[in-house]
Chain A
Amino acid sequence: MDQISFVPVLAICIPAVAAVLILIFRNHPMIRESWTILASFATLACVLSMLPLVFSGAEPYAALFQILPGLSISFRADAFALIFALTSSSLWVLNSFYSIGYMQAHHGKNLTRYFFCFSVAISAALGVAFSADLLTMFIFYEILTLSTYPLVVHAESEEARMAGRKYLAYLLTAGIFFLFSVLLTYFLTGGTAFAPGGILTGQGSALLMMILFITFLIGFAKAAWIPLHSWLPSAMVAPTPVSALLHAVAVVKAGVFGIARVVFYIFGIDMVSALGLGLLLASIASFTIIVASMMALTQDNLKKRLAYSTISQLSYILLGVALLTPSGIIAALIHIPFHAFMKITLFFSAGAIIVMTGIENISEMKGIGRKMPITMLMFAIGAIGICGLPPVCGIITKWYLALGAIEAGQLIFLVVILSSSILNVLYFFPIISTAFFEKPDVDTGVHEAPLFMLIPLTITGICSVLLFLFPDWPFLTLVTIAEAIITGSVLP
């Protein structure tokens, strides 16, 4: 049930206000950075404060204003939204510290622009999470694209600019498809508000629905499904904290989150399964899982390999959504935070290596594990988690996903999941073995990264393990509530 509350709006506004403050204090680096830190904590507190309400079954809701009948700017913090929001905001805190450490060690330039855009991007990601209708979501989705563009082009090199153009070309084109879908939805139903069970039922012919579904899928190119994935590896020219939080968590999760929202709250499970669209999505997702994993095998650049791994992992979420069964939904939703924690650990470690040694290629990382043991240990934890082995949280996803495939009676997807696990092992374990068991060619005086970087990556690594041991609070609880709402079943 809705409960009028402006806390979701507040959560979106805090980073936006922080962005303005960052601009104002652009000549005082210390004050500027402290705004980022302060804002990240405040945002997290804001999001956390909504948890008890949501646990009790209420949904904070705020409609700001109406543009046309049925068309308004509105926000709702339901359990589903909170999963994404909590993931982004909690990791933002760690990432802020890491950013400061990374930029200090890397002698970064244009830091005001960097922190400004970062805050705006987080604000937009929270906006996507909390939006209660398609139009609001579209607005924040576009802001997210634009605000992350300067971060991709941050280095201002020719390569960065090319990547930036590619980034915009893909995501703005996708935005156009998204806009078209929003228009069409509004035209068909006279509204764009999300509702469990969907709003499109009986509003148009099957063919129209299929077209709409496909334009939605293209619109959410941020989910990086193949063949709309190639912007993501290119975007890895960005500074590592950007790749870590935005291109492994906020931006790409906004894509899959959007697809999930649309499938569950615009189309509705019944229609998607009746039209066979679930199977379509599942096929795309399976294809992406396998092909992206294979592509990851061929990459020598560590960040690019991680990017392909992200592409593959994002499709786990899509596959979970596409199965349309309770366990599938749980797998999809729980993978949003779990993958975020594991992948950010991996990126943080990669960033630490790049900053301390300047090495980006895996083949040059011989023996690095001995020089930077904590970093590489955390990297190993993240890698194990992605492969779906205990004692890291990744296995929980795989478990539910496998259950979901069985519930749906689609055993073929079980094969996909298993073979992808093997591929994951194949592309991660060589890195670990190179880092720990091979001897370096020349001995250099490399040591651990500064504490500003080391502590955040240790925390995320340990969290990945803790989430395996105690998955219930808060994520699995949220996921169960969200799943109950989506499938319309009674809360346990």
Chain B
Amino acid sequence: MIIDHFPVLVVVLPLVGAFVTLLAGWADRRLCFPIAMATTFIQFCISLQILSRVMQTGPLHYNLGNWLPPWGIEYVIDQLNGFVLVVILFLCVLTCLYSYRSIHSEIDEKKIPAFYTVFLLLVTGVCGIAVTGDLFNLYVFLEISSLAAYALVALGREKRSLVSSFTYLVMGSVSACFILLGIGHLYIATGTLNMADLARLLPPLYGSTVIQSAFIFFIIGLSIKTALFPLHLWLPDAYRYSPSAVTVLLASVVSKIGVYALIRILFSVFTPAFIIIEIPVMEVFCWLAAVAIIGGSVLAIAQTDLKRMLAYSSVSQMGYILLGIGIADNLAVTGGILQILNHAVMKGCLFMIAGAFIYTSGIRSIDDLRGIARTMPLTAAAFVIAAASMIGIPPTAGFMSKWFIALGALESGQWIFVLVILASSLLTAIYFWKVIEYMYFRDPGTRCAEVVSTARDPPAGMLVPILILAAACVLFGIFVSIPLEVIEPFVTGILGGI
């Protein structure tokens, strides 16, 4: 039955798609978009099917080449993978749709086949990370997605995109090296690379320094990947100078898969017992996340460039996810995982809007956005909704994740983090409200009055994904029970009942 091969299809399909796109691109450039679109869409449907099967029958196991684990590579999909897979593919489909119009104005015509090829390779990488149950396989897919991401960043027309891509490459490779080291340590100690097997073999070895240093390597490596605060320096430039569609991918897909890998390694390879009791690393983790939340917001306030501001805001919002994980309480982890979805949706929406401004008027600076709401009403309205969600105003999605994380912090008695979450809402309000005030309540500045007055809402190909995501910001807030239904079994599974 083909349905049994879905876990591997979700990885193989974009890989094949990438080559087909490359070949088709030689024949006719216009073929690339439909192929990429069809591939991601079919993948999205597959991922939905996988998730529904996981919800009905529990985790799926797929042995590559019928080699039994722990010898062969095993793909395992439980509620967390299924959820993350659906989220990232949802964003990939929308980004692909969005890229059709936006990418033409941002990269050279002849590079379009290359863009879609690398795009599909990136999708291969992130889907691979999501489904694999093997640590080394995870490393390989992490590198595939990262390499694709470096290339995509370098596609930007501005020459600074090259330098930011190079910085990203160096930082990314170092982080991958640390992860590889961590994997090596675990292998030396246990002789296996299968995650489930590791989780079984590790507990007696928790006292060993080898295991502990492996853990530290993982934390450092993945912190760079997810741009945890002091290690975030590559992020703003990479986000700022990439083409809009690529920024959306980086912010809502690549960063999310890094967090997924972190959760998987923290909770499924190691166990909560280890990360909470054996080394007090979670405490440090929480504080770093708190610094990220506040520091990212403060830096975002200081920005004058819209995309850069959103990039720093990402640093802050990723801090929420990491704080949720770091508190390691049922509710907080639920909130953290919920934030993966919510942040992907809101930040995807915001970066798409920033791209829409660049597309229609070439405006990048917040200052120049004055009065743009009059000529781009729908885009501006979507911005308001997504910004409200970032601030955490009910009933938007962002509120719900903050609610859960704060509740978790209260439950575990860590009051200080409740205050951090609440204070950061205010900081977030400051920088987003500035943009909203400029868009709605100011006359266009003299410098770009003409550009602003002739700007129009972007074409449907860009507007539809923006509006879908803006609607999702509200819908996932009101119907928060839908993602919760998926997340809760996983969290209960790893941390015990609520």
Contact = CB atoms under 8 A, between A and B. Distances in A.
B406 interface: yes
Interface in B359-400: 388, 391, 393-395, 400
B418 interface: yes
B407 A186 contact: yes
Contacts of A175: 393
A146 B393 contact: yes
Nearest to B388: A146
A187 B441 contact: no
Contacts of A150: 440-441
Interface residues of A, number: 28
B383 to A, nearest CB: 14
B410 A164 contact: no
A73 B479 CA distance: 11
Nearest to B433: A168
A274 interface: no
Given A172-B429, A176-B426, A187 B480 contact: no
Contact of B437 (A135, A161, A176): A161
A187 B410 contact: yes
Interface in B474-491: 479-481
A161 B440 CA distance: 11
A187 B426 contact: no
Contact of A153 (B394, B403, B410, B437): B437
Quick one: which of B391, B393, B480 has the most chain A CB within 10 A?
Answer: B393
Contact of B422 (A66, A160, A161, A180): A180
B442 interface: yes
Contacts of B423: 176
A65 B400 CA distance: 15
Interface in B438-460: 440-443
B418 A180 contact: yes
Given A156-B443, A172-B426, A183-B418, A142 B437 contact: no
A164 B437 CA distance: 9
A481 B426 CA distance: 40
A164 B403 CA distance: 27
Contacts of A183: 403, 406-407, 410, 418
B481 A67 contact: yes
Nearest to A135: B394
B443 to A, nearest CB: 7
Interface in A181-234: 183-184, 186-187
A169 to B, nearest CB: 9
A176 B423 CA distance: 8
A61 interface: no
Contacts of B403: 183
B142 to A, nearest CB: 35
Contacts of A173: 426
B425 interface: yes
Nearest to B384: A146
Contacts of B411: 187
A66 B482 CA distance: 11
Contacts of B425: 176, 179
B441 A156 contact: yes
A102 interface: no
A299 B197 CA distance: 76
B341 to A, nearest CB: 15
B394 A139 contact: yes
Interface string A142-169: 1100100010010010001100110010
A146 B432 CA distance: 13
Contacts of B480: 67
A142 B406 contact: no
Given A138-B394, A139-B395, A176-B422, A161 B441 contact: yes
Contacts of B422: 176, 179-180
A262 to B, nearest CB: 18
Contacts of B442: 156, 161
B143 to A, nearest CB: 40
Nearest to B419: A180
Contacts of A153: 437, 440-441
Contacts of A168: 429, 433
Nearest to A153: B441
A239 to B, nearest CB: 14
25 contacts: A65-B479, A65-B481, A67-B400, A73-B395, A138-B394, A139-B394, A142-B393, A142-B394, A146-B393, A150-B441, A153-B440, A156-B442, A161-B437, A161-B441, A161-B442, A165-B437, A172-B391, A172-B426, A175-B393, A176-B422, A176-B423, A179-B425, A180-B418, A183-B406, A183-B407
**Which 3 residue pairs are nearest across A and B when measured between Cβ atoms?**
A139-B394, A187-B410, A176-B422
Given A67-B480, A146-B388, 17 more contacts: A65-B481, A67-B481, A73-B395, A135-B394, A142-B394, A143-B393, A150-B440, A156-B442, A164-B437, A165-B437, A168-B433, A172-B429, A176-B422, A176-B423, A179-B425, A183-B418, A187-B411
